[in-house]
Amino acid sequence: MQVRGKVFVVTGGGSGMGRELVLHLLAKGARVAAADINETTLAETARLAGDVGPRLSTHVLNVADQAAVASLPEQVIAQHGTVDGVINNAGIIQPFEKVVQLDDAVIERVMNVNFYGTLYMTRAFLPYLLERPEAHIVNVSSMGGFLPVPGQTIYGASKAAVKLFTEGLRSELLDTNVQVSVVFPGAVATNITDNSGVAAPAEDAESQASFKPLAADKAAAIIVEGMERNRYHILGGSDAKFMDRLTRLNPRRAAEFIHKQMRSLLSRSSASA
C-alpha cells in the first residue's frame, strides 16, 4: 500500500524511531495521527514536522490504558476523516537484570506496554481498517523477539509475543483487504533507555556491540518501504539480518553468541544490584 494520501496512526511518535516514522510518512504525503505518552516530546515532533497543517494531529496516549486506546479511533477519524494504517511502534525495555532480580511491577509494565498495548491498538482499529479498500497494520517486534538476549529476557518475551500475535493476525486476515507486517529492528540509535526509565552504562553496552546502531531515520525509512512492499517480515539493520540468518541455521550458536556479547554488561549489572 502506497502511503501518499493515506492516514496512519503511529504510536511512540514523540521520540526516536516513532518520531522519524511520523516525519517520514508526512514527507511522503501521508496524513499522520501521532500518539505518545509524553506530551512534551510529542509537541517537539509537531514542531519538527513544520507547516503540514491538518495532515498531522497529536494525541497524548498511554497504549497500556485499554479505555484510552478504545477512544482513539473516533478521535483520529474526527480529525482525518478515516484511518488506513496503524504502526504499533511504542515500546519499552527492562532494566539490564536477570529475571530473578526483576520486580513483578517491572515485568507487568513491560508486558503491558509492549504486548498489551499492541493488542489493544490492533483490536481498537481493526474494525475500521476492514472497511477500507486497502489497509495495513505494522507491529514492531525486535531482534530480541526471535533471539534470547540475557538481561532483556522479559522484554524479549514481550516482543516474541508481538511476533507470533502479528503472524497469527496476518494469517487470519489473508482473505481481507488488511495487510499485516512485523518489524524486527536490531540496534537502533534512540533514547529508549531514557523513555523506559532504565539506567544503563551506554558506553559499556556499545563496547559489547559487534554492529553499529542504525540511525532512527534510516530504520523508519526501512519500515515504511517494507510496508509499501507488503513484506511479511521487515528486518532493520545489518545486525538483525545477520542474527536472523544465524538463528535459522543454528539457534544455539546464535544464543551463545549474544550471551558472549552481553556477558560483561550483565555481570556488572548483577554486581551493582
Catalytic residue, from 116, 120, 128, 155: name it: 155
100: phi then psi, degrees, rounded to nearest 5: -65, -20
For residue 24, what is its C-alpha cell?
A: 517520514
Residue 233: CB atoms within 10 A of its CB come to 16
What 3-state class would DSSP assign to 232?
Answer: coil
Looking at the DSSP bridge assignments, the partners of residue 118 are: none
Whether 155 is catalytic is: yes
What 3-state class would DSSP assign to 206?
Answer: helix
Closest CA to 165 of 219, 114, 91: 114
- SS3 assignment for 176-196: CCEEEEEEEECCEECCHHHHC
What CA–CA distance (Å, rounded) separates 11 from 108? 20
What CA–CA distance (Å, rounded) separates 262 from 222? 26
Q: Are 190 and 237 in contact (CB under 8 A)?
A: no
Catalytic residue ranges: 155
